[in-house]
Amino acid sequence: MIKWCAANNLALNLDKTSIMKFITKNSSPSALHMVIKTRKVMENTKFLLLQIDSHLNWNTHIEQIIPKLMGACYAVRLMVHISNINILK
C-alpha cells in the first residue's frame, strides 16, 4: 500500500490511517492480516464524523449521538417556557 501511494504521488499519513475490510452481512468472515507500522485491521472507525463498522452500519454513531440530541431537546423544552415562538425559531 505504501509503495502504491508513493508510485501515484500520494502521501499516506500513518498517524491518521485506519484499515478496514468491508463485508456484506451475508458473506462469511475471513481473516485479513494486514499491519502497517502497528496499524491493524479495525472493526469500526470514524470517517467524515460518522462512526461506521465493517458492514457500513452506523449503529455506533447513533448510540453516540443520542445523548447529545437528548440534551438539545431538553434545552429546547426549557426555552419554550421562558421565551416566545419567534425567538425559538
pLDDT in tens, 15-62: 777 777 777 777 766 665 666 665 666 677 777 777 777 777 778 888
pLDDT at residue 79, rounded to an integer: 81
d(CA 63, CA 18): 21
The model's pTM: 0.48
Can you tell me the mean pLDDT for 72-76? 87
Section 5-9 average pLDDT? 89
Domain ranges in the chain are: 1-43
For residue 88, the model assigns a pLDDT of: 65
* Amino acid at position 48, single letter: L
